[in-house]
A and B are shown apart, each in its own frame.
Chain A
Amino acid sequence: MDKTVAIELKGITKTFGEVIANNNVDLTAYRGEVLSILGENGSGKTTLMNMIAGIYFPDEGEIRIDGEIVSIRSPKDAFDHRIGMIHQHFKLVDVFSAADNILLGEKYKGFDVKEEKQRLLDAFAEENAAFEAYKPEEHTGILSYMFAPKFHDEKEIKRKLSAVPLKKFTNRMKFGWLSRGRAKSLQQIAKKYGFAIDLKKRIHDMSVSEKQTVEIIKVLYRNADILILDEPTAVLTPQEIDKLFGVLRKMREDGKCVIIITHKLNEVMEISDRVAVMRKGEHIATVNTADTNEQQLTEMMVGKKIELNINRTEPQEPTDRLVVEHVSAISREGVKILDDVCFEARSGEILGIAGIAGSGQRELLESIAGLQKLNGGDIWYFDPSNDNEKVDLRSKTPLQIRNLGVRLSFVPEDRLGMGLVGNMDLIDNMMLRSYRHTITLKPEDGEVKEAEDCEDKLDTKIKLKRGLTKLGRGIASGAVKIWSSVFLDRKSPKTLAETIVQDLEVVTPSTHTPVRRLSGGNVQKVLVGREIAAAPTVLMAAYPVRGLDINSSYTIYNLLNAQKEKGVAVIYVGEDLDVLIELCDRIMVICGGKVTGIVDGRTAQKEQLGLMMLGRVCETEPQETLKEGVGDDKD
């Protein structure tokens, strides 16, 4: 390749305590190319890039920019070397306008007084020399007067030189002043790369894609010519991704070096010139995109051949399990977050929910789980253990819902902030769901005991039985009840934790390890395992594979599929449209808290979903088959 090297990493090693994040990584990026860094979560992609962007400092190794060894100790150093990084989580001030965010932190580029003086002296000397060499007789008329060089006498030079420090001061004052037309000059940069964005808009009024654009302009404004984008497409719709890729191509033509961190293969194939594959902190290889294919890249990324198929079965006798009717909710800020949402989740079926992040997916699931106050609408649950009796779930607390015998499991988006307690160990986290009842079910014999679990009468009997074995014979039932309700039972959660660790191959030093120390995939396995162990009839999962590596993701898909085959109504909120189309039986798209349509997963098109995510309402599929099914059940 005859391109010039922009940045070169040699032998970079970085460790966090015992964990080796990067081990002896060599990497080269050229100007005028898009380099993808491909790797699973935890393979050290972001750490490596953070070292270039000045967030971490490498333990060993060197970074060369344009052939020169540099030391990047802070993001400011990185900017000085014209490196700009766009992080996955945007770093913008919400209440500022886009333009102000871009200008924020800009350094005043002062000049050295001595150098400036020298420059002026040289300029005067030059002009004086020109004056001496000037011969007025060579020119004629008024022109000879107009274009004659001026002579600067010593007094004038002295005066001008002594004004230099003052000039520096006034420049500085001017810099500290925000001019009214500041957005205009910035708009030029936006125009150059074809961004359609109003820079006077405030960040909190912007969509995710717009925020990303602001980040990119910010980096460009600072003259960065090495751009690093950390998972830029994770939150965008297909249409927005196309737009972003257009911008990246333009930058490439402009001679900039663009580095994209990603784990999505199709994007790698589409945009990049070369791909660097990372695995477990090591750089496996860098290949030209043209010479490779997705299968080969996956193998390099995972280190072994894997089958990436989701086995979607036909739903068995779907019946309505959960019906949501005209649900509306208003957030604390008074914004409508759910607007007249209607849908039904059926047993033995996976219902996918697609939408741009923050369109109300979380609120929807939380309102079903009893965590979100509703302003209108109804939520009905049809109890399969009780001849599909209609149960009202509206405005119930999670505890009330559970006491009604509704077996609703919920894998929330925020795993460590809501689903689990990071500082507690596996056993205590298993207890979260079950500590009140002292009985925990094992995943495999879940079905045997599920009938017992939901009924309160039997529950007390089980309590009594356990209490009796503990306390010995002859103790009154009342005493036993108090005993079992005051103290914790850590034995059955321990068995459950051990079963989950074994069955789902959770990598953990022991069941006494705080879950926050596990990796993302293992945390998720623990959470999903616990929720499935409760033998649910409705299983809701919000972004269950976010941040998971390919293997763990497929483990989760398979678990969801297994639940579906058991007859559970699964609701899956996802962000990867390819997966949604592959996994779900039906896909509901929401935009701004409104349902824009429900489509069949088997026939859905990615572009169609993308448009619906942006708010285009789509015809809902006819639902005759279903209504018949419900009618049959009631007979």
Chain B
Amino acid sequence: MTKTKKIREPLIHLVKRDDLPGWKAWGIRALSIVGAFVFICLLSFIVLKRSPFQIVKFMFEGAFGSKLSTLVLFRDLSILLIISLAVTPAFKMKFWNIGAEGQVLISAWGAVLCMYYLGGKIPNGALIFIMLLSSMTFGILWAVIPAIFKAKWGTNETLFTLMMNYIAIQIVLGSTKIWAGVTSTGVLHPLQYGHLPQVAGGDYALSMIVAAVITLLLFFYMRFSKHGYELSVVGESRNTARYIGISVPKVIVRTLVLSGAICAVAGFLLAGGIMHTVGSGTVGGQGFTAVLVSWLAQFNPIAMIVVSFVVIFISKGTTRVMENCGIANSFFSQVLTGTLFFIIIACEFFIRYRVLPRKRHKAVAPREDLDDDSVEVVEDFAEPDIVIEEPLSEADDDKQETRDEDVEHSQEETVC
């Protein structure tokens, strides 16, 4: 028995692949999104006892139910898209800036600062201009401080930017308390001055236009400009950058100035165009969601439009599902969103690895010194067993055991 057990081949081979054509990789991603939708529909069906079709209907209602909800959807999409674009150049440079939340918040605060103190005292046009300047200053400052520390002393940018978020939140909390009056609840009511001009007859179009322009600009910046080239060289290999004479600190600081500036645009739009006020929840975690969007889109600005659409659609849709099913709190909607992201991220595993099942007939072909019975024994002993094989010793955290059952959809797609 033990002897026959020895000669079995591992059940699954994970073979690293890096020759997957782009369309195929995107195909796998698209399929995983579809699979994820099917899965969350089934999940809601089990929990909420409504038919999956009804749930789909609710989701679409939540997203596109009325003209207003559609406009809100696209406005929110634009803000998320701008923030995602903001973090992208830094990510491409492998500078893990997770402080977009704080950068957007502090620039929104910078705009509100001007609205509060200068509102009504100077013409609206001048006020808006000063607001923009103030936003930019604070947004860039919040991004560039960690960048300088990273460039000069090699500090960890992830922790640093994260801490900057908390500083921003505390500043906002403290100052709104003062502005709103010490006795009040600390919530600053919308201010009257410094509203951004309405474009196309509403509050909504402006963010969309800005987002579209930034998307295009950033796409060209990353793809065709020398700066874009330099930052991707720095991201790929600092040694190469040094070797060809790129000043790495300069590129880091420059890129984070850009990052902060784009975050500032988002903060400015939030403060001046949408909220007209600021609070610790103004950004609402979009700074972190943006990290996810940027990653899922593989740092491609155009793909980011699609990804942020999916993200916003899900959040609007599931909120409506909850409302219609009479669940007051948002826990289930968050479960659904989380599951969805999990599946989409998990599909990257199948883009990087190919799963090959054991070739039974060859591995246990009868040999002269093994009778047929022992071959059968081998089959019985075939327990799940994985061998990761890759020419490079690049360790990967993804392990087959940690897969969720739902990934099996994607598995079927890829192993063919």
Binding site for B on A (CB under 8 A): 16-18, 56-57, 59-60, 62, 69-71, 73, 369-371, 397-402, 410, 412, 414, 416-424, 428, 431-433, 435-436, 485-488, 517
Q: How far is the CB of A381 from chain B (nearest CB, A)?
A: 16
Identify the closest chain A residue to B239 (Cβ). Answer: A418
- Which among B225, B226, B362 has the highest number of chain A CB atoms within 10 Å? B226
Could you say which of A371, A400, A428 contacts B242, with CB atoms under 8 Å apart? A371
Let me know if B247 is at the binding interface, CB within 8 A. yes
A69 to B242 alpha-carbon distance, docked (Å): 53
In the complex, what residues of A have CB within 8 A of residue B233's CB?
A: 421, 424, 432
A436 to B245 alpha-carbon distance, docked (Å): 10
Number of interface residues of B (CB under 8 A): 37
Q: How far is the CB of B350 from chain A (nearest CB, A)?
A: 15
Let me know if B367 is at the binding interface, CB within 8 A. yes
A398 to B247 alpha-carbon distance, docked (Å): 10
A473 to B117 alpha-carbon distance, docked (Å): 51
In the complex, what residues of A have CB within 8 A of residue B387's CB?
A: 57, 73
Could you say which of B15, B227, B228, B244 contacts A17, with CB atoms under 8 Å apart? B15
Identify the closest chain A residue to B18 (Cβ). Answer: A517
Within 8 A of A (CB), among B13-36: 13, 15-19
Could you say which of A71, A419, A433 contacts B6, with CB atoms under 8 Å apart? A71
Q: Is the CB of B236 within 8 A of A57?
A: no
Identify the closest chain A residue to B230 (Cβ). Answer: A435
Q: Is the CB of A423 within 8 A of B236?
A: yes
Q: Is the CB of A71 within 8 A of B7?
A: yes
Q: Is the CB of A517 within 8 A of B229?
A: no
Q: Is the CB of A397 within 8 A of B247?
A: yes
Q: Rank and list the top 8 A-B pairs by shortest CB-CB distance, nearest first.
A: A399-B245, A398-B245, A418-B239, A71-B7, A421-B236, A432-B244, A418-B243, A71-B6
A603 to B319 alpha-carbon distance, docked (Å): 84
A626 to B369 alpha-carbon distance, docked (Å): 75
Given A16-B15, A517-B18, are A417 and B226 also a contact pair (CB < 8 Å)? Answer: no
Q: How far is the CB of B352 from chain A (nearest CB, A)?
A: 12
A280 to B389 alpha-carbon distance, docked (Å): 20
Could you say which of A56, A69, A417 contacts B7, with CB atoms under 8 Å apart? A69
Let me know if B237 is at the binding interface, CB within 8 A. yes
In the complex, what residues of A have CB within 8 A of residue B239's CB?
A: 414, 417-418
In the complex, what residues of B have CB within 8 A of residue A488's CB?
A: 224-226, 228-229
Let me know if B240 is at the binding interface, CB within 8 A. yes
A417 to B241 alpha-carbon distance, docked (Å): 10
| A-B contact number at CB 8 A | 94
Could you say which of A62, A400, A417 contacts B237, with CB atoms under 8 Å apart? A417
Q: Is the CB of B243 within 8 A of A369?
A: yes
Within 8 A of A (CB), among B208-250: 224-229, 232-233, 236-237, 239-240, 242-247
Q: Is the CB of B362 within 8 A of A57?
A: no
In the complex, what residues of B have CB within 8 A of residue A369's CB?
A: 243
A586 to B77 alpha-carbon distance, docked (Å): 67
Given A17-B17, A57-B389, A71-B6, are A419 and B226 also a contact pair (CB < 8 Å)? Answer: no
Given A16-B391, A69-B7, are A371 and B243 also a contact pair (CB < 8 Å)? Answer: yes
Let me know if B203 is at the binding interface, CB within 8 A. no
Q: Is the CB of A17 within 8 A of B226?
A: no
In the complex, what residues of A have CB within 8 A of residue B224's CB?
A: 487-488
In the complex, what residues of B have CB within 8 A of residue A399's CB?
A: 245-247
Let me know if B57 is at the binding interface, CB within 8 A. no
Q: Is the CB of A435 within 8 A of B7?
A: no
A171 to B7 alpha-carbon distance, docked (Å): 32
Q: How far is the CB of B276 from chain A (nearest CB, A)?
A: 37
In the complex, what residues of B have CB within 8 A of residue A485's CB?
A: 226
In the complex, what residues of B have CB within 8 A of residue A398's CB?
A: 242-245
Q: Is the CB of A433 within 8 A of B244?
A: yes
In the complex, what residues of B have CB within 8 A of residue A371's CB?
A: 242-243
Q: Is the CB of A487 within 8 A of B226?
A: yes
Given A60-B362, A414-B239, are A486 and B247 also a contact pair (CB < 8 Å)? Answer: no
In the complex, what residues of B have CB within 8 A of residue A18's CB?
A: 19
Q: How far is the CB of B54 from chain A (nearest CB, A)?
A: 45
Let me know if B254 is at the binding interface, CB within 8 A. no
Let me know if B177 is at the binding interface, CB within 8 A. no
Q: Is chain A's interface secondary structure helix, strand, loop, or mixed overall?
A: mixed
In the complex, what residues of A have CB within 8 A of residue B186's CB?
A: none
Could you say which of B10, B229, B247 contacts A431, with CB atoms under 8 Å apart? B229
Q: Is the CB of A73 within 8 A of B10?
A: yes
Binding site for A on B (CB under 8 A): 6-10, 13, 15-19, 224-229, 232-233, 236-237, 239-240, 242-247, 354, 359, 362, 367, 369, 387, 389, 391
- Which among B9, B244, B389 has the highest number of chain A CB atoms within 10 Å? B244
Given A422-B236, A487-B224, A488-B226, are A69 and B243 also a contact pair (CB < 8 Å)? Answer: no
In the complex, what residues of A have CB within 8 A of residue B19's CB?
A: 17-18, 517
Q: Is the CB of A70 within 8 A of B240?
A: no
In the complex, what residues of B have CB within 8 A of residue A486's CB?
A: 225-227
In the complex, what residues of B have CB within 8 A of residue A69's CB?
A: 7, 367, 369
In the complex, what residues of A have CB within 8 A of residue B225's CB?
A: 486-488
In the complex, what residues of B have CB within 8 A of residue A436's CB?
A: 226
Identify the closest chain B residue to A89 (Cβ). Answer: B393
A517 to B15 alpha-carbon distance, docked (Å): 16
Identify the closest chain B residue to A399 (Cβ). Answer: B245
Q: Is the CB of A71 within 8 A of B237?
A: no
A398 to B244 alpha-carbon distance, docked (Å): 6
A424 to B233 alpha-carbon distance, docked (Å): 9
Q: How far is the CB of B382 from chain A (nearest CB, A)?
A: 13
Q: Is the CB of B10 within 8 A of A412?
A: no
Interface pairs (9), CB distance under 8 Å? A17-B19, A71-B7, A417-B240, A418-B240, A422-B237, A424-B236, A487-B225, A488-B228, A488-B229
Identify the closest chain A residue to B15 (Cβ). Answer: A17
A432 to B225 alpha-carbon distance, docked (Å): 13
Given A56-B389, A397-B247, are A71 and B240 also a contact pair (CB < 8 Å)? Answer: no
Q: Is the CB of B226 within 8 A of A71?
A: no
In the complex, what residues of B have CB within 8 A of residue A60's CB?
A: 362
Q: How far is the CB of A480 from chain B (nearest CB, A)?
A: 15
Q: How far is the CB of A400 from chain B (nearest CB, A)?
A: 8
A423 to B367 alpha-carbon distance, docked (Å): 46
In the complex, what residues of A have CB within 8 A of residue B240's CB?
A: 417-421, 432
A431 to B225 alpha-carbon distance, docked (Å): 12
Q: How far is the CB of B332 from chain A (nearest CB, A)?
A: 41
A59 to B356 alpha-carbon distance, docked (Å): 11
In the complex, what residues of B have CB within 8 A of residue A517's CB?
A: 18-19
Q: Is the CB of A70 within 8 A of B7?
A: yes
Q: How far is the CB of A279 from chain B (nearest CB, A)?
A: 19
A283 to B156 alpha-carbon distance, docked (Å): 51
Q: Is the CB of B6 within 8 A of A70?
A: yes
A57 to B362 alpha-carbon distance, docked (Å): 13
A486 to B246 alpha-carbon distance, docked (Å): 15
Identify the closest chain A residue to B233 (Cβ). Answer: A421
In the complex, what residues of A have CB within 8 A of residue B229's CB?
A: 428, 431, 435, 488
A414 to B239 alpha-carbon distance, docked (Å): 9
Q: How far is the CB of A322 from chain B (nearest CB, A)?
A: 18
A62 to B232 alpha-carbon distance, docked (Å): 46
Taking A57-B389, A71-B9, A422-B237 as given, write out 18 further A-B residue pairs in contact, using a Cβ cutoff of 8 Å, ordered by the A residue number.
A16-B389, A17-B15, A59-B362, A70-B6, A70-B7, A71-B6, A71-B7, A369-B243, A371-B242, A398-B242, A398-B244, A417-B239, A418-B237, A420-B240, A432-B240, A433-B244, A488-B225, A488-B229
Q: How far is the CB of B297 from chain A (nearest CB, A)?
A: 17
Q: Is the CB of B226 within 8 A of A412?
A: no
In the complex, what residues of A have CB within 8 A of residue B246's CB?
A: 399
- Which among A414, A418, A436 has the highest number of chain B CB atoms within 10 Å? A418
In the complex, what residues of B have CB within 8 A of residue A419's CB?
A: 240, 243
In the complex, what residues of B have CB within 8 A of residue A414's CB?
A: 239
A458 to B387 alpha-carbon distance, docked (Å): 59
Q: How far is the CB of B390 from chain A (nearest CB, A)?
A: 8
Q: How far is the CB of A618 from chain B (nearest CB, A)?
A: 33
Q: Is the CB of A57 within 8 A of B243?
A: no
Q: How far is the CB of B213 from chain A (nearest CB, A)?
A: 18
Identify the closest chain B residue to A396 (Cβ). Answer: B245
